[in-house]
Structure 1
Amino acid sequence: MKRIAALFLALGLVVAPAASAQGWMNQFSPGQARDSRNQGRTVPLSQIFNKLKQQYGGYQLSADLYDKGNGKSVYEIDWMTKDGRKMHFVVDAQTGAVLDRRGA
């Protein structure tokens, strides 16, 4: 019985990293993001940051570019507002439009 449990544990350790890696497959590498911006397929982050700064003040905490399939891509941005609230934005990378906004 202990051997079977150990086998399942070992199998779980092998399969779990592969499963979690699949969730990251849609994230652009820095080079891919730069190429996409240079080719005009995505709005520069600086433009989006300027809009967020005008509306909320504050500064960017993190930003990532993701491929959502069918030629669609989005920026996921964490932002600290001027009054100290942390917010999360999902922004259409082609248009710069905010698609979703969550905050504290």
Structure 2
Amino acid sequence: MKRLLVITALLAAPLAAAAQPWPDGGRAAYGADRSDQDRARDAVRSGRQAPLSRVLAMIAQRTPGRHLNTTQGDQGGRPVYFVQWQMTDGRVVIFVVDAESGQIIGRQGG
């Protein structure tokens, strides 16, 4: 009987979680929202921000490895890219890149 209750609880938990509304009215709570992406795209098109493709090519020239992920934020009031990069030996480095100039301004890890 206990086993049946445990199995029932385990099966019902994902259904209950799926039935819960998103905390912000329907949009998933991870990643950038659409307006963030649109602002970044507009900044690149207008020349106020370096294209991510150029930033990734520059990092690849200097540091062999592969791109894992990129997020945007700010550092010291300036827009930056946080580029997560896996080096050929498996270590992961986060490059902090000035989004306006496209220059690396910091490095964390690795």
Q: In structure 2, what is the Cα distance between the partners aligned to 1:80 and 1:37?
A: 25
Quickly say closer, same or farther: Cα 1:88–1:68, change in 2 above 3 A: closer
Quickly say closer, same or farther: Cα 1:83–1:44, change in 2 above 3 A: same
Residue identity opposite 2:53 in structure 1: S
Decide which of 41, 57, 71 is 1:64's aligned counterpart.
71
Residue identity opposite 1:88 in structure 2: I
Identity %: 36
Residue identity opposite 2:47 in structure 1: G
Q: Which runs of 5+ in 1 are unaligned?
A: 1-16, 18-27
For the residue of structure 1 that corresponds to 2:106, the secondary structure is strand
Q: Which runs of 5+ in 2 are unaligned?
A: 1-22, 24-34
For normalisation by structure 1, the TM-score amounts to 0.65
Decide which of 27, 33, 47 is 2:40's aligned counterpart.
33
Of the two, which has the highest radius of gyration? 2
User: Which fold has the larger relative contact order, with Cα–Cα distance below 8 Å and residues 6 or more apart in sequence?
Assistant: 1
Quickly say closer, same or farther: Cα 1:100–1:68, change in 2 above 3 A: closer
Q: In structure 2, what is the Cα distance between the partners aligned to 1:91 and 1:38?
A: 18
Q: How many pairs align?
A: 80
For the residue of structure 2 that corresponds to 1:83, the secondary structure is coil
Cα deviation, residue 68, structure 1: 4.8
For normalisation by structure 2, the TM-score amounts to 0.62
Residue identity opposite 1:61 in structure 2: L
Moved over 6 A (4+): none
Q: In structure 1, what is the Cα distance between the partners aligned to 2:75 and 2:107?
A: 18
Note the 1:46-85 alignment, pairs <5 A: 46-68=53-75, 72-85=78-91
